[in-house]
Amino acid sequence: MRGFLQVTDTLVERGEELIEAAKADPVLAGVLIGVGVLTALIFVIGLMKQAFKAAVVGAILSAGAWYWYFNIR
């Protein structure tokens, strides 16, 4: 637990340094904002594509199940 607290303290200090560096350099802040927006967009597109794949698989399985159901009746 003690090592975890030391790592946490180090990360907090490093984060504060990065925040100060971004405040001092507007180009760095712009780059960070751009990267953040781009990665969020990639994440959302990935979720939508995965949902589309799940919908297609569900539709195929559903059609197959109904086809099988009506053929065995």
pLDDT in tens, 29-67: 788 788 888 888 888 888 888 888 888 888 999 988 888
- Over residues 14-19, the mean pLDDT reads 80
**pLDDT over threshold 60, residue 1:** no
Residue 41: give the domain boundaries: 2-72
**pLDDT over threshold 70, residue 4:** no
46 alpha-carbon distance from chain centroid? 8
- Specify the pLDDT at position 60: 92
State pTM to two decimals. 0.54
- Specify the pLDDT at position 73: 60
Token output for 21 = 């560096």
Rounded CA-CA distance 33/20 in Å is 15
Place of tokens 């009746």: 73
Give the count of domains, the chain. Answer: 1
